[in-house]
Chain A
Amino acid sequence: MATNEVTPNTKKIQVRRFKPEEYPDKHYLNEETGLRAWLTTVDHKKIGLMYFGSITLFFFVGGLLAILLRTELFTPAQTFMDADTYNQVFTLHGAIMVFFFLVPAVPAVLGNFILPLQLGAKDVAFPRLNLASYYIYVLGAVITLIAILGGGIDTGWTFYTPYSTSTDGNILLMTFGVFVLGFSSILTGLNFIVTIHKMRAPGLTWNKLPLFQWSLYATSIIQILATPVLAITVLLLTMERALSIGIFDPALGGDPVLYQHFFWFYSHPAVYIMIVPGFGIISEIISTFSKKIIFGYWAIALSSLAIAFIGFFVWGHHMFTAGQSSLANMVFSFLTFLVGIPTGIKIFNWLATMYRGSIDLKTPMLYTLAFLFLFTIGGFTGIMVGALSVDIHLHDTYYVVAHFHYVMMGGMVFAFLGGIHYWWPKMFGKMYNELLAKIASVTLFIGFNLTFLPQFVMGSQGMPRRYFNYIEQFQPFHQLSTIGAYVMLAAFLTMAGYFAYSLRKGTKAKANPWGSRALEWQTESPAPLHNFHHIPVIVNAPYDYHKPMSEFQLGVAASHNGHHAEEAVNVDTIKKEQA
């Protein structure tokens, strides 16, 4: 039993068990109602849901752009849009997906919702700041939307100079939107770090911190350190365009490759902002659905920090053909290979967790298993493009496009979907149709591979990316890829369907439908307005499935509002029962 030794500094707390009520009448969704209550809420759960609505909207817009793009690419020449339109479509697809979906999704939606619950806190450290983060996100989105409607943005989501400083279009406004958006990310990171440090429930020591928390902690560090560099980059770009100061534009005496260094210094750590919380979700789901202690807890926790750290030093691997020195290329390639090792360790640890577990293939677990497969492919193909000589051939081809979709979509999106399906009952108190969910997940998996596997092949054969026209030999690959995109669309539409139905008419969920030991499941579904009706007390490590559920439902005995007094039980009594 992982109790702390009694030292002079420890306090003795009288605890008792607080079993969560099933099908509560009052919860966070109906305790404060009305539009005004939502728009001015400081409840992290409602803020998480508002983010959920926004990023889902952006995901569908970005996805629609992808469908348009892939439909155009069904034939080698013009299918239904001209080159200018196509170039704008791929730019917007990238910019919307990266800035408005991928970067915020897991931290702002699932992080916001689950972090305080899982820590046993009533909310985050700075609830009003949390709401401000959301509104800053909305402001950034609105500014960007106006820029998009103004048209003409065709630089790719990377805005490389000098093309981006010389072309027409609302580049200034768009980059300003991204500038504003960055602050949302920074403030959320700040909030999470303080919350994890200062607001853990009694007994929740660092060595008992759930892995989702570790991953959010590592992500928050990256958010705070890297995002300001993006802000500066965008500011410099704006100054150059508006004031004709030469920073990146050679015609004004600047250096275009300098822009790439600035841009990627943020954008590479950004991809770890996207994936590291996803890793945290995988740890939670795999342990719950294997009903087994996580294998290698410290290895997984510390590897997230290692990835965050090393991830700041590899940005140059996006620039192997940009004209930087061979020495730079060598250093970046070397460090890039190092950053792959902590990730590989996680994959093995997760598999080892499944070994001799009690595996239940519910939908969250299906997404998790799909993640293990797809992210591994993404990782190995990352090794491929990290190798200098091979990257000379593969850079700026569809091989890279396939690689990052495997890690971003096969990895992050599948982890996110796993998390949504896992925590849905906690968020809404409803279940969704399990059969439809399974079918959608398998359809998505098939559609995803159909879309992106052919892209590895045609990339190796030389098919460049960001190409409106292409030579005939690549047509079969493009057509397979387009068909795959439509299969994915079908899966997402199915998902939207059963989730909408679940909200209206879904079966009511139990407090802990998955039998998880995690703290967020030891309170009602949907969660109460202030998360718990008592002060939770942590006694065990987070994945101790060999301990009875009752030991994860302990709270300070005097902290409840007086109900269920007959259930007051001593910790010692519980221990005796179990012996």
Chain B
Amino acid sequence: MLPPQKSTLAESTDALFHFINITSLILLIGITIAIVFFSWKYRRKSEDDITPVISHNSKLEITWSVIPLILVMIVFGWGFTSYLNLKTPPDDAYEIRVVGKSWLWEFHYNTGHVSVNELHVPVDRPVKLVMSSDDVIHSLYIPDFRVKMDVLPNRYTSIWFEATETGESIIFCTEYCGNAHSRMLANTIVHEQEDFITWLESGGSADDDMEPAELGEQLIVRNACNTCHSTDGSALVGPSFQGLWMAEREMEDGETVTADENYIRESILEPNAKVSAGFQAVMPTYAGTLNDRQIDAIIEYIKTLE
């Protein structure tokens, strides 16, 4: 019933989950048997049936008050101690800064590198995520690791985990944040420790020997542009990239612009300077996330979308 256990924290969460499930199931079965059995055994024989006057039974009532109390106190204590562990990162945890913004996740590493919608971490090493939001409340949830925390606009919150195997785990946004809340997904990529260092040092990508248009296509995906902009003509949160290049577009304020290199560059760095008619000013800026070469590549890619 639970996702695979991919962090050191998962086991204790799961153990309590199973304990509560099993105890509840036993009690539920008992109650159900009582309901069914009593309904059958004590079914009404006639309208003149006389029933015994059993108004209370102190021993029984105390028993079924005290035993549940003990059980819930066990569950409380167990949940609380596991929780303290979830809340307390080891001192040497590797810190990654997370920024949530409608509708993507940015991960900032201590080398200055930024990855969008991809959280790269080393295996078998505690990682601490220090998080904040640029706009509304989001929440970062990694089911495989059993961690979740709201991401707030006015302060930092944090979670920590230690991944136990390489591979990928999905990240969901779990605080409703508007139109594309259910598309605000990201991917955790757990590397072997050496591979992680390699990845980090290479700036996170082997972009240099790719054709600009091909690189642009990858960047569109890696930076979550495709969450809001389609390439097949359909209007999502933002206008489609298909047919955008050099098209005449009307803006919200009535002005008509031609979608040339400057327009596209401005849209990436200062998205709300010009808002296409019929759409809302909700795009976050990529200033600081995409460099000029990457913007060039995106423009080249958009040119290919007739």
> Which A positions have Cβ atoms within 8 angstroms of B?
83-84, 87, 154-156, 160-163, 166-168, 250-251, 255-257, 290-299, 321-323, 326, 329-330, 333-334, 337-338, 340-341, 344-345, 347-349, 351-352, 354-361, 369, 372-373, 376-377, 380-381, 383-384, 386-393, 395-397, 457, 460-462, 464-471, 515, 544-546
Distance of B89 from chain A, by nearest CB (Å): 13
Interface membership of B44, Cβ < 8 A: yes
Closest to A389 in B: B82
Interface membership of B1, Cβ < 8 A: yes
A337 pairs with B137, CB closer than 8 A: no
Interface membership of B32, Cβ < 8 A: yes
> Which B positions have Cβ atoms within 8 angstroms of A?
1-3, 12-13, 16-17, 20-21, 24, 27-28, 31-32, 34-35, 38-39, 42-45, 47, 49-57, 60-61, 64-65, 68-69, 72-73, 75-76, 78-80, 82-87, 135-137, 139, 141, 143-144, 146-150, 152-155, 157, 170, 172-183, 185, 280
Taking a contact as CB atoms closer than 8 A, the residue among B17, B51, B152, B181 that contacts A323 in the complex is: B152
B55 pairs with A461, CB closer than 8 A: no
Taking a contact as CB atoms closer than 8 A, the residue among B51, B136, B153, B177 that contacts A358 in the complex is: B51
Given contacts A352-B54, A355-B38, A392-B13, 15 further A-B contacts (CB under 8 A): A83-B180, A83-B182, A87-B178, A167-B178, A251-B153, A321-B148, A351-B34, A354-B34, A354-B38, A354-B39, A373-B28, A383-B20, A388-B80, A389-B86, A468-B181
A387 pairs with B141, CB closer than 8 A: no
> With A292-B51, A296-B56 in contact, do A389 and B13 touch (Cβ < 8 Å)?
yes
A–B Cβ pairs within 8 angstroms, 14 of them: A160-B137, A160-B176, A292-B51, A323-B152, A340-B68, A348-B64, A352-B57, A354-B42, A358-B42, A361-B43, A387-B16, A462-B141, A467-B182, A469-B182
Distance of A545 from chain B, by nearest CB (Å): 6
Which of chain A's residues have a CB closer than 8 A to the CB of B54?
292-293, 295, 352, 355-356
Which of chain A's residues have a CB closer than 8 A to the CB of B1?
457, 460-461
In the bound complex, CA of A163 to CA of B282 (Å): 12
B56 pairs with A83, CB closer than 8 A: no
B39 pairs with A369, CB closer than 8 A: yes
> With A333-B79, A359-B39 in contact, do A87 and B179 touch (Cβ < 8 Å)?
yes
Closest to A545 in B: B51
B79 pairs with A372, CB closer than 8 A: no
Closest to B182 in A: A467
Closest to B280 in A: A168
Distance of B125 from chain A, by nearest CB (Å): 21
B16 pairs with A390, CB closer than 8 A: yes
Closest to A83 in B: B179
Which of chain A's residues have a CB closer than 8 A to the CB of B87?
326
B83 pairs with A329, CB closer than 8 A: yes
A-B contact count (CB 8 A): 255
Distance of B6 from chain A, by nearest CB (Å): 12
A464 pairs with B177, CB closer than 8 A: no
Which of chain A's residues have a CB closer than 8 A to the CB of B52?
292, 356
In the bound complex, CA of A292 to CA of B54 (Å): 8
Taking a contact as CB atoms closer than 8 A, the residue among B57, B86, B137, B170 that contacts A256 in the complex is: B137
B55 pairs with A293, CB closer than 8 A: yes
> With A341-B68, A546-B53 in contact, do A255 and B154 touch (Cβ < 8 Å)?
yes
> With A291-B44, A546-B53 in contact, do A388 and B35 touch (Cβ < 8 Å)?
no
Taking a contact as CB atoms closer than 8 A, the residue among B42, B47, B80 that contacts A290 in the complex is: B42
Closest to B32 in A: A373
Taking a contact as CB atoms closer than 8 A, the residue among A333, A349, A355 that contacts B76 in the complex is: A333
In the bound complex, CA of A256 to CA of B136 (Å): 9
Closest to A547 in B: B53
Which of chain A's residues have a CB closer than 8 A to the CB of B176?
87, 155-156, 160, 163, 466
A162 pairs with B153, CB closer than 8 A: yes
Closest to B36 in A: A369
Taking a contact as CB atoms closer than 8 A, the residue among B34, B72, B172, B177 that contacts A383 in the complex is: B72
Distance of A166 from chain B, by nearest CB (Å): 7
B141 pairs with A384, CB closer than 8 A: no
> With A358-B44, A389-B79 in contact, do A321 and B139 touch (Cβ < 8 Å)?
yes
In the bound complex, CA of A299 to CA of B136 (Å): 46
> With A290-B51, A392-B147 in contact, do A323 and B83 touch (Cβ < 8 Å)?
no
Nearest first, the 4 A-B pairs at minimum CB distance are: A462-B143, A387-B79, A389-B82, A250-B154
In the bound complex, CA of A72 to CA of B73 (Å): 41
> With A166-B136, A321-B148 in contact, do A468 and B86 touch (Cβ < 8 Å)?
no
Which of chain B's residues have a CB closer than 8 A to the CB of A295?
54-57
> With A291-B51, A383-B75, A388-B82 in contact, do A395 and B31 touch (Cβ < 8 Å)?
no
Which of chain A's residues have a CB closer than 8 A to the CB of B76?
333-334, 337, 386-387
Which of chain A's residues have a CB closer than 8 A to the CB of B174?
395-397, 464-465
A464 pairs with B38, CB closer than 8 A: no
In the bound complex, CA of A383 to CA of B55 (Å): 29
> With A156-B176, A166-B136 in contact, do A256 and B80 touch (Cβ < 8 Å)?
no
Closest to A323 in B: B157
B56 pairs with A297, CB closer than 8 A: yes
